[in-house]
Amino acid sequence: MANENDGFKFEQRHGKARVRVARVWRNPDGRQSVVEWSVSISLFSDCQNAYFRDDNSDIVATDTMKNTVYVKAKECKGQLSAEDFAIQLAKHFTSFYRQVYAAIVKIVEKPWERVHVDGQPHNHGFKLGSERHTTEVIVEKSGLLKLTSGVEGLALLKTTKSGFEGFIRDKYTALPETQERILATEVTASWRYSYESVSSIPQKPLYFTERYLDVKKVLVDTFLGPPKEGVYSPSVQSTLYQMAKAALNRFPDISSVQLKMPNLHFLPVNLSSKDSSIVKFEDDVYLPTDEPHGSIEASLTRFWAKL
């Protein structure tokens, strides 16, 4: 809600960023599970008097928001997805406080993965994986919902079936055309679910955790192609589009996908002295770089999607 004060348009929100919490659930059969979350909360509330009149009487203290994360984590009696926890928190803030008309809750989940020992899942042993599950929910007082999930730090590489040809050549261009290169990236993806109210989200426990794993698998599989022959990538742009399209085609409750895919270059190594070649590049020795990197991003949205 925008306000007018002293002849200026005024918008505000406040919250607590990066509240770290871990929650353990202990099954009577000995199997335990754990999640570790970094929770960021931002509240849209009627507390303009704090800005205009030094009156804090309508402020939900950000310290209270932090405490609420721990209270709500305690109240979760069974394992739940980051999405469901974010929705619960956002619902709490918008329903508990008269002043709060909307809440944004973002969560980044640490990838603790159950370890298998001698082929058996360990009851209480975990190791840290690489990519992170993210979510962002916006809940309004009316129950209106925007739900987005994602993955960050998903590092992918293939050693062949990638090229780049046919681009603009001019007096600034040095890059040779190629049909053979390493393709490496670190995917940041987010996808918007089409659920539009907190009452319409699937009630199945861990629904969004499963969806996260499934979407990630579709992205990875599309990037790599079939296990034996792979799939040729004519550009990061083309591969990105195929990945986004595959996710939308596969999951009807996803209305849009956004992908960021840096092109992490692996440069051919050619070394020579004045009179002889020391290392001649034969698609074998590369100099991996991450600076500078290509930055390629796009979003793909269903036509009928209400956003």
Ligand X SMILES: O=c1[nH]c(=O)c2[nH]c(=O)[nH]c2[nH]1
Binding-site residue numbers are 62-63, 164, 181, 236-237, 263
Closest CA to 35 of 87, 92, 86, 73: 73
Q: Is 175 in the site for ligand X (CB under 6 A)?
A: yes
Residue 243 binding ligand X, by CB under 6 A: no
C-alpha pair distances (Å), 107 with each of 43, 129, 155, 254: 15, 17, 20, 19
Smallest distance, ligand X to C-beta of residue 297, A: 12
Strand partners, 28: none
Q: Does 301 bind ligand X (CB under 6 A)?
A: no
- Interface region with ligand X, contact rule CB under 6 A, candidates 48-56, 57-65, 98-106, 234-242: 234-242
- Main-chain phi, psi angles of 304, to 5 degrees: -80, -5
Q: Which is nearer to ligand X, 108 or 259 (CB)?
A: 259
d(CA 190, CA 105): 15
Considering only 235, 259, 261, 268, the residue that binds ligand X (CB under 6 A) is 235
* Pair of tokens at residue 193: 């679910």
Closest approach of ligand X to the CB of residue 10, in Å: 42
Q: Which positions make up the binding site for O2?
A: 62, 263
- Distance, in Å, from the CA atom of 292 to the CA atom of 212, rounded to the nearest integer, reads 30
Instruction: Please spell the DSSP secondary structure of 216-239, one letter per residue.
Output: HHHHHHHHH-STTT---BS-HHHH
Q: Which of 294, 298, 300, 302 binds ligand X (CB under 6 A)?
A: 294
Q: Which of 9, 14, 16, 77 is flagged as catalytic?
A: 16
**Minimum CB separation from ligand X for residue 157, in Å?**
14
> Does 237 interact with ligand X (rule: CB under 6 A)?
yes
- 80 near ligand X (CB under 6 A): no
Taking 3-state DSSP, the helix, strand and coil percentages for the chain, each rounded to the nearest 5, stand at: 25, 40, 35
- 111: contact with ligand X by CB under 6 A: no
Q: Is residue 223 within the footprint of ligand X (CB under 6 A)? A: no
Catalytic option among 106, 133, 216, 265: 265
Residue 184 binds ligand X, judged by CB under 6 A: no
* Cα–Cα separations (whole angstroms), residue 127 to 212, 235, 295: 19, 34, 31
**Cβ contact 294:263 at 8 Å:** yes
Catalytic, 16? Answer: yes
Please give the Cα distance from 183 to 26 (Å, whole number).
Answer: 43
List binding-site positions for urate: 62-63, 164, 181, 236-237, 263
236 or 244: whose CB is closer to ligand X?
236
Give the nearest distance from C-beta 184 to ligand X in angstroms. Answer: 11
Beta strands in 27-78 (DSSP E): 32-45
Nearer to ligand X, 7 or 176 (CB): 176
Name which position in 154, 236, 243, 254 contacts ligand X (CB under 6 A).
236
Q: Is 62 a catalytic site residue?
A: yes
Residue 164 Cβ vs ligand X, minimum distance, rounded to whole Å? 4
14, 62, 72, 146: the catalytic one is 62
Q: Does 163 bind ligand X (CB under 6 A)?
A: no
Residue 219 neighbours by CB under 8 Å, 6+ apart: 151, 154, 187, 189, 243, 246, 247, 259
Question: Count of CB atoms within 10 A of residue 4's CB?
Answer: 8
Residues that bind ligand X (CB under 6 A): 164, 175, 235-237, 263, 294
Residues known to be catalytic: 16, 62, 265
